[in-house]
Amino acid sequence: MTNIVVIGAGYAGLTVARRLARRATAHVTLVNAAPDFVERIRLHQHAAGEDLRVRPLAEAVRGTGIELVVGRVRAIDPATKEIDVDGRGIGYDTLVYALGSVSDDHGIPGVAENAYPVAGLAEATRLRDLVPAKATVTIVGGSLTGIEAATELAEQHPDLHVRMVAGHAPGSGLSVKARRHLGRVFDRLGIEVRTGARVAKVLADSVVLTDSEELASDITVWATGFRVSPLATQAGVRTAHSGRIVVDATLRSVSHPDIYAVGDSAAVQIDGQELRMACATAEPMAEYAARAIATRLRGEEPKPFSYRYFLQCISLGRKDGLVQLVDAHDRPKETVITGRVAALVKEGIVRGAGWSALRR
């Protein structure tokens, strides 16, 4: 029987494994560093104090025939078709690479030692435990994760002075209407915004900007983007500048056709544009990859992967949100939904994403 090994059990990996177990005549092994599925898109909520429901992977794969291995992938050897999981070798016929991403410190001094990202569960938990005792928090990064973290922290901790430091205005990729709403919400929550600022280094109790200005900061949240695991590059699998695996139209590595890549780890081009790292792109990739692998196992050729953007959904605390309609290339349209309705839409999408990976 064909051996399919899926590495990473986030939104993409868990989805691929569960769909493959249903569709393909194959032995499916799922490898993940932690025993639980993490609803990563709720980590800013967790950092602000909300408990995150733990979803054991053992439960998610029960009755599916999937073999679950909890351990960290240390290396991949495409020549022998074997991965090293904490010293244990696991062979594969087909490998699905779904290792996601982590916070990117961009090599800025002091970030690794002194800043707190919200990209992983342990980091978000550390933040949750520390924030209540602090007076000033600085969020570095004005994109979606920074906006979600800032509004959530400000709403849950009204006495906290929340400051955002960003090179561009928060949500600069959104429509005028959306940015106006964002401005109103930031004002309501008392979030101070410093734009046109670049961080040169992070100290334990301050942030130093490139113009040498030093801003006192009890705690600094790092939200300037994500980077992927170096394992694929180290294994000689062809990767883009970002480290994401370069794939063909069927999400197979262009250098190693027995390796598929999905989610944040995959550099998927649609109309010459690389899909952004998002749960919204990860799950459709995973659904597709499972179908493509099953189709090939039947000796047929799958149709190419297709994707189009519809909206960007941003939480602004628990009572407000922004649903930005976008065109097929992720460019904002003028239509936005705001307020409680948007918050409800976002919550529905977050629930749906978890349900799709865990239950469907």
Ligand X SMILES: Cc1cc2nc3c(=O)[nH]c(=O)nc-3n(C[C@H](O)[C@H](O)[C@H](O)COP(=O)(O)OP(=O)(O)OC[C@H]3O[C@@H](n4cnc5c(N)ncnc54)[C@H](O)[C@@H]3O)c2cc1C
Which is closer to ligand X, CB of 12 or CB of 268? 12
CB closer to ligand X, 104 vs 206? 104
Residue nearest to ligand X (CB): 10
Which C-beta is closer to ligand X: that of 294 or that of 353? 353
Q: Smaller CB distance to ligand X: residue 201 or 307?
A: 307
- Per CB under 6 A, residues contacting ligand X are 7-13, 31-34, 38, 40-41, 43-44, 72-73, 98-101, 118-119, 145, 148, 229, 263-265, 277-280, 282, 313
Shortest spacing between CB 135 and ligand X, in angstroms: 23
Structure tokens at 194: 């410093």
Positive or negative CA dihedral for 76, 78, 79, 83?
positive
Q: Order of strands, edge to edge, in the sheet holding 206-209? A: 199-203, 206-209, 214-216
- CA 293 to CA 96: how far, in whole Å? 10
| Least separation in angstroms between CB 220 and ligand X | 16
Amino acid at 20: L
Smallest separation, CB 74 to ligand X (Å): 7
Residue type, 56: P
Beta bridge partner(s), residue 321: 315
Taking the complex as a whole, the smallest distance from the CB of residue 266 to ligand X amounts, in Å, to 8
- Of 206 and 289, CB closest to ligand X: 289
Least distance (Å) from ligand X to the CB of residue 299?
29
**Shortest gap between Cβ of 79 and ligand X (angstroms)?**
20
Evaluate whether 23 touches 291 at the Cβ level (below 8 Å).
yes
Query: What is the closest distance, in whole angstroms, from the C-beta atom of residue 47 to ligand X in the complex?
Result: 8
Cβ count near 273 (within 10 Å)? 12
Q: Please identify, using beta-carbon distances, which residue of 166 and 206 lies nearer to ligand X.
A: 166
Neighbours of 179 (CB within 10 A): 19
Instruction: Fill in the DSSP letter of residue 50.
Output: P
Q: Quick one: 117 or 302, whose CB is closer to ligand X?
A: 117
Distances (CA, A) of 352 to 204, 357, 359: 38, 9, 10
224, 138 Cβ separation under 8 angstroms = no
E strand segments, 159-225:
161-166, 192-195, 199-203, 206-209, 214-216, 219-222
Contact between residue 177 and residue 150 where contact means Cβ atoms under 8 Å apart:
no
